[in-house]
Chains A and B, each alone.
Chain A
Amino acid sequence: MNSPALPARTSGRRLPFLFRRTWPALWILPMPVWLLLFFAVPLGLLVAISFWSVVNYRLTPDATLAAWRHVLGLDFLWASFWRSYGLSMASAVVISLLAFPASYAMAFVAAPRQRLILLGLAIAPFFTSYLVRIYSWQVFLTEGGVISSIVQAFGGKGDSLLNTYFALFLGHATLALPVVLILQTIALANVDRTGISAAANLGARPRAILFRVILPAARPGLTLGLLFAFLLSYAEFVSASYLGGGAFQTLPILVTDLVRAGQQWPRAAVVSLLMIASLLVTAFVTVLWAYREKG
């Protein structure tokens, strides 16, 4: 009647046994519900809307390829796509490199207690609104703002830095740097210390320990950090429009433009699906690489 691996020995133990069987089931149950609610249904809706049409500014269920044809026929689509993709990937790489020394220090130099405090400080910016943080960058970057005033005081030209890639990068970093710091620190802190000691005892130099022991061991976590920085920057709209401005038109800006201009939700859905597809491919490839076995 019961599984032969775990036979119920007495009737008195049956209840705890049943409980032991249902306990994991209780934990598993919400997962499909969440996946359905927050992933499958919205995605399905997005796919459906991409085949709908807009009649007199009203979204109308339909089965037309018009939105797909329109978006895929845009001559600037792929230029905008690669611009978006390239800029976010560049941001993700630079953010990861910038975060690494700090994560290394927190993982290997700081005591566990200090590490907690430092990580807490790194997350602190999350307690203010992202929009407010982006707006405050404008004060620093604009013409006659903090940075340009300092540059002028030292005899420089002090032009505005807004609407440059630097400004857009700052926005991406504001969003992604804390996440990357946390992921990298956890990854590095979990590297097996005995491996490091062994390498040191066998006479490996610090450089060799870093590149041949620590980095390979922490690779999954570090790659995940890079991936998250990319995901956040790629879908980012606020700094793209308030810091990058007109110079860097990205796909999220295109999505809002399509909705604003004549409520073209189906076309916006097509662009969103393109973004989701490219994100999934990127995430898949990255994760495969992160967890691949040593060849």
Chain B
Amino acid sequence: MTHNSITTRRRLIKGGLAVAASIATPAILRAQGRRDLSILTWAGHADPDVIGAFEETHNVRIRAKEYVGGDQMLAQMAQSPAGTYDLILSDAEYVVQLQQAGFIEPLAPEDYPFDDFFPEFQNFRGHWFDGQPYAVFLRFGFLGLSHNRTAMSEAEARSYRTMWEPRHQGRIGHFDWHLPNLGTLSLLNGNPSPFDLDEAHWADLTGTMMSLRPQVRGFYDYGGMLSALRSGEVSAIPGIGDWITGVLARDGADVTTTIPEEGGLQWTESLSIGARSGNQDLARSFIQYMLSPEGQVKTATLKAYPAMIPTRAGWAKLNDELPGEARRQNMALNGPNALDEIRAGRIRLRELPVQQSLEIWNDAWTRYKNA
């Protein structure tokens, strides 16, 4: 009796397992074929609208690890074993540090549509070492003076100097990062290379910054800037751009970014392949996808923060499909556009400090905040 019941149970289990296996097999096979691609990136880039098509085509799941700021990105790389990240989306000025630390792989130039880039963006500074690219320029934007139109007109915003006016006292906001803030104030001081300053000019710059402190309302992160600019809590924020005001304008807020007479900065985001990545083929396909006209339009209209794009084909597709957005983002093919600003010499690249260490700039910013 006992023996009989055991065999029955065994039979039952065996049969059950067989049934379960046959039901689950297709799902398991699908899942087995799917690969994971990890990317270390600023927030918002792993939006399904952007990467969904790629995931579908290549049966891959993209796992994004988001960071805030280049320092955190470098720390993340330094603390993770090689090969943890297949792809790295970084600010262009940090590519040199990534390359020197051996965190990224050299790329084959023929894999990417560099010929389709506008000439300004080919051989981009800090991306090529010994004739080999280590990063591919993906998107860019300008930084100037972003302002709420009801509090500050475009005419007023023609100089950074306007932030010191008594009527903006307690009405100037800051993005809580030293580099773009010090960079724009350095432009105001008339430094032709805003990040390459000797001791005297550096001292002048910190002096200029400190004199702005009484005007300051607060130091904000991404979300804080959106709400402060929209509500009119602050009149203006220096050193940011359409990556904030574009998001607000899309929702109908009366805000814009003006590049003052003293000039503006350019931020740039680039894609690299992580050193000893186990998925280099997929990573390469991903960069190719993002550089295709389709990917370029998607990244130009990224929900988290829009950007301009470096490829001619991308511009053409954007002008074709979203002419309004192309005009708003200053990427109109016929007529004046962002490239004219670059060619007129009004735009400087955002860079890491040349003569001081990053730490000195960091400390100056902390001192400014605590003043």
Shortest C-beta distance, A253 to chain B (Å), equals 8
Shortest C-beta distance, A243 to chain B (Å), equals 10
B227 touches A254 (CB 8 A): no
Secondary structure class of chain B's binding surface, majority of residues: helix
Given A80-B370, A245-B218, A260-B71; A162-B233 close (CB under 8 Å): yes
A262 touches B362 (CB 8 A): yes
A254 touches B231 (CB 8 A): no
* Size of B's binding interface in residues, CB under 8 A: 32
Q: How far is the CA of A7 from the CA of B357 in the complex (A)?
A: 76
B219 touches A246 (CB 8 A): yes
Cβ of B69 under 8 Å from chain A: yes
Cβ of B75 under 8 Å from chain A: yes
Given A58-B79, A263-B71; A246-B231 close (CB under 8 Å): no
Q: Which of B321-371 contact A (CB under 8 A)?
A: 358-359, 362-363, 365-367, 369-371
B79 touches A160 (CB 8 A): no
Partner of B231, one of A74, A144, A242: A144
Report which residue of A145, A242, A249, A260 has the largest number of chain B beta carbons within 10 angstroms of its beta carbon: A260
Looking across the interface, which residue of chain A has its beta carbon closest to that of B74? A57
Cβ of B220 under 8 Å from chain A: yes
Q: Which residues in B have their C-beta under 8 angstroms from that of A27?
A: none
Cβ of B78 under 8 Å from chain A: yes
**CB within 8 Å: A-B pair count:** 78
Partner of B71, one of A74, A80, A162, A262: A262
Cβ of B174 under 8 Å from chain A: yes
Contact with A along B170-211 (1 / 0, CB 8 A): 000010001000000000000000000000000000000000
Q: Which residues in A have their C-beta under 8 angstroms from that of B69?
A: 260
B366 touches A258 (CB 8 A): yes
Shortest C-beta distance, B238 to chain A (Å), equals 14
Shortest C-beta distance, B348 to chain A (Å), equals 23
Q: How far is the CA of A257 from the CA of B178 in the complex (A)?
A: 11
Shortest C-beta distance, A73 to chain B (Å), equals 11
Q: How far is the CA of A58 from the CA of B76 in the complex (A)?
A: 9
B174 touches A246 (CB 8 A): yes
Partner of A163, one of B68, B75, B218, B232: B218
Cβ of B224 under 8 Å from chain A: yes
Q: How far is the CA of A56 from the CA of B358 in the complex (A)?
A: 12
A57 touches B227 (CB 8 A): no
Q: Which of B211-241 contact A (CB under 8 A)?
A: 216-220, 224, 227-228, 231-233
Q: Which 8 A-B pairs have the closest CB atoms?
A: A245-B218, A246-B218, A261-B362, A76-B370, A57-B75, A246-B219, A143-B231, A263-B75
Interface residues of B (CB under 8 A from A): 68-69, 71-72, 74-75, 78-79, 101, 174, 178, 216-220, 224, 227-228, 231-233, 358-359, 362-363, 365-367, 369-371
Q: List 14 A-B contacts (CB under 8 A).
A: A58-B78, A138-B227, A144-B232, A160-B231, A160-B233, A162-B218, A162-B228, A242-B224, A246-B218, A246-B219, A254-B366, A262-B359, A262-B362, A263-B75
